[in-house]
Amino acid sequence: MSNEIVAMTATELLSRYSNGSLSPVEVTRAMLAQIQALDSEVNAYCLVDEDTTLEWARAAEQRYQNNAPLGLLDGVPVAVKDVFLTPMWPTLKGSRTIDPASTLGKSAPCVAALERHGYVPLGKTTTPEFGWKGVTDSPLCGPTNNPWNPERTAGGSSGGTGAAVALGMGPIGLGTDAGGSIRIPAAFCGIVGHKPSFGEVPHWPASPFGTLAHAGPMAWTVEDCALLMNVMCEADHRDANAVPRRHIDYLAQLRDGVAGLKIAFSPNLGHVEVTREVEASLREAARVFSSLGASVVEVDPSFSDPLGSFGHLFYGGAANAMRDLGARKRELMDPQLVSVAEKAAKLSMLDYLGAMNERAALCERMASFHQKYDLLLTPTLPITAFKTNREVPEDWPSTRWPTWTPFTYPFNMTGQPALSVPCGFCAEGLPIGLQLVGAKFDDARVLQAGYAYQRAAPLTDRRPPMFQQR
């Protein structure tokens, strides 16, 4: 029964709680046992506190016994990336430079919303230091490995949550994404990850990476991502960039299908080299959307690679976050993070403004593109997972991570919603992800299309080999 429980989605758990066939304590114990059995292989969690977790589970179980469940998630265990403030646990962001006591007693907006809806906190998941790169390793926590092959990376920076969800060490989790950090581990780990429109999900304190950064859900299914969006989008006055609440029921809109939608399909954005297996999987996904009644056209959005401008904005944010850290603290940090931040600190105001100009032009370009096309379909990544504890694949022509994530970071610059959904496996058995991008604030349509695709071409019954061996 334990394997059956840890394979359940949040939606399935809520149904079983409601009919009394499962209890939050029973489910939480099963997931804690799964963490104990498998996490040594992947290092998804940097903090697990079973006593506190079970205390929250017992409170949820009591509410069900009293016929008074709380909100939309009562009793559902959730994995929380260690960049979100949790009042009972420290938030270290993968860094030795943070005083644990200084972070206690505070809740990030997403965590506060989860609390209002009765969640059960499973623990804090691993991240690279300050979430600065597309893989997950840090001097504090070490590397996080891929659940399909522990010799490969889980991706990052939300790699801990990605690995946890894939292995049933939590049905859903929180991630952040300033250049692909939800979608990269979603693709590498074979799960679903949604980067919402910027401002749709309140986020506080502000990310070091400013308006590039989005908080979003990660789950085994698109349906669970929509459920979590209904919670995460609740208003919070602390985020100055949050848009007024639109009160959209993302779950209710999932079943509208894709018939009649105009979908642009671009396997390479006109300039990206992708593996044959990735391209083949994406072409098959495009065929599935056509079979569902969408009009699918192969066309590029025709923008040049904004890698340089993204680097100025992203690494400039890292430099700003570290501006008050002296030499002693920098010695404790990831030396590559220190290196990129120190280089970015030498950029001029004109460099920054030039990057903002390119960002504005890209926003305008994509806004015009979506006047013609409802959605853009691309690979999430041009490659599958490479060796763990590396920033880039072996023999890669560059030393920095954004060079292998060319499909993700452009849409952090535009603030558009982007969803990664599993669409296949390479010959080595590693997952491949497709990305659905929508017009800004059209998150409901993006999730709706992802849901339609996942129902038509489900891979949800295929878990990592490690999961089956448990």
Q: How do residues 28-57 score in pLDDT, each as one tens digit? A: 999 999 999 999 999 999 999 999 999 999
- Please report the DSSP string for 276-330 in residue order: HHHHHHHHHHHHHHHHTT-EEEE--------HHHHHHHHHHHHHHHTTT--HHHH
Residues sharing a CB contact under 8 Å with residue 162, sequence separation 6 or more, in sequence order: 44, 154, 155, 175, 185, 186, 188, 189, 191, 193, 218
Q: Is the pLDDT of residue 468 over 80?
A: no
Confidence of residue 2 (pLDDT cuts 50, 70, 90): confident
Confidence of residue 198 (pLDDT cuts 50, 70, 90): very high
Confidence of residue 469 (pLDDT cuts 50, 70, 90): low
Candidate list 81, 124, 133, 440, residue with the active-site label: 81
Average pLDDT over residues 181-200: 98
Residues sharing a CB contact under 8 Å with residue 322, sequence separation 6 or more, in sequence order: 330, 333, 338, 341
**Would you tell me how many other CB atoms lie within 10 Å of the CB of residue 371?**
7
Residues sharing a CB contact under 8 Å with residue 115, sequence separation 6 or more, in sequence order: 107
Q: What's residue 1's pLDDT?
A: 62
Over residues 361-390, the pLDDT tens digits come to 999 999 999 999 999 999 999 999 999 999
DSSP state of 387: B
Share of the chain above pLDDT 70, in %: 99
Q: What's residue 399's pLDDT?
A: 96
Confidence of residue 154 (pLDDT cuts 50, 70, 90): very high
Alpha carbon distance 372, 390 (integer Å): 40
DSSP state of 86: B
3-class state of residue 149 by DSSP: strand
Contact 380, 387 (CB under 8 A): no
**Would you tell me how many other CB atoms lie within 10 Å of the CB of residue 106?**
14
Residues sharing a CB contact under 8 Å with residue 157, sequence separation 6 or more, in sequence order: 127, 128, 131, 132, 133, 134, 135, 136, 176, 181, 184, 185
Nearest CA-CA partner of 191 in 399, 432, 403, 12? 432
Write down the pTM of the prediction.
Answer: 0.98
Distance from chain centroid for Cα 176: 6
3-class state of residue 438 by DSSP: strand
Over residues 329-369, the pLDDT tens digits come to 999 999 999 999 999 999 999 999 999 999 999 999 999 99
State how beta strands 137-138 and 142-143 pair. antiparallel
Helix (H), strand (E) at residue 365: helix 349-372
Q: Is the pLDDT of residue 3 over 90?
A: no
Q: Is the peptide bond before 157 cis (omega within 30 degrees of 0)?
A: yes
CATH of the domain at 355: 3.90.1300.10
Alpha carbon distance 75, 399 (integer Å): 43
Q: What's residue 353's pLDDT?
A: 98
Candidate list 23, 138, 158, 181, residue with the active-site label: 181
Residue listed under structure tokens 């535009």:
414
Kindly report the backbone phi and psi dihedral angles of residue 417, in degrees, each rounded to the nearest multiple of 5, phi listed first: -75, 140
Average pLDDT over residues 429-448: 98
Alpha carbon distances (Å) from 254 to 290, 400, 415, 443, 449:
18, 37, 22, 11, 8
Range of the domain at 22: 2-469
Contact 251, 9 (CB under 8 A): no
Candidate list 95, 107, 138, 157, residue with the active-site label: 157
Confidence of residue 275 (pLDDT cuts 50, 70, 90): very high
Alpha carbon distances (Å) from 347 to 53, 131, 202, 312, 441:
45, 21, 30, 8, 32
Tokens of 290: 């056509």
Average pLDDT over residues 169-193: 98
* Torsion angle, alpha carbons of 177, 179, 180, 185, to 10: -80
User: Residue 326, exposed/middle/buried by CB under 10 A (0-12, 13-18, 19+)?
Assistant: exposed
Average pLDDT over residues 284-298: 98
Q: Is the peptide bond before 197 cis (omega within 30 degrees of 0)?
A: no
- Span between the terminal Cα atoms of the chain, in Å: 12
Contact 338, 345 (CB under 8 A): no
Tokens of 400: 């920095």
Helix (H), strand (E) at residue 84: none
Determine the longest span between alpha carbons in the chain, in angstroms.
62
3-class state of residue 220 by DSSP: coil
Q: What's residue 466's pLDDT?
A: 93
Over residues 229-261, the pLDDT tens digits come to 999 999 999 999 999 999 999 999 999 999 999
Tokens of 184: 């990269």
Average pLDDT over residues 399-425: 98
Q: What's residue 12's pLDDT?
A: 98
Q: Is the pLDDT of residue 266 over 80?
A: yes
How many CA atoms lie within 13 Å of 351's alpha carbon, on the beta-carbon side? 14
Share of the chain above pLDDT 90, in %: 99
Examine the residue annotation and report whether 304 is marked as an active-site residue of this protein: no
User: Residue 437, exposed/middle/buried by CB under 10 A (0-12, 13-18, 19+)?
Assistant: buried
Task: Provide the number of structural domains found in the chain.
Answer: 1
Nearest CA-CA partner of 173 in 252, 181, 37, 206? 181
User: Residue 464, exposed/middle/buried by CB under 10 A (0-12, 13-18, 19+)?
Assistant: buried
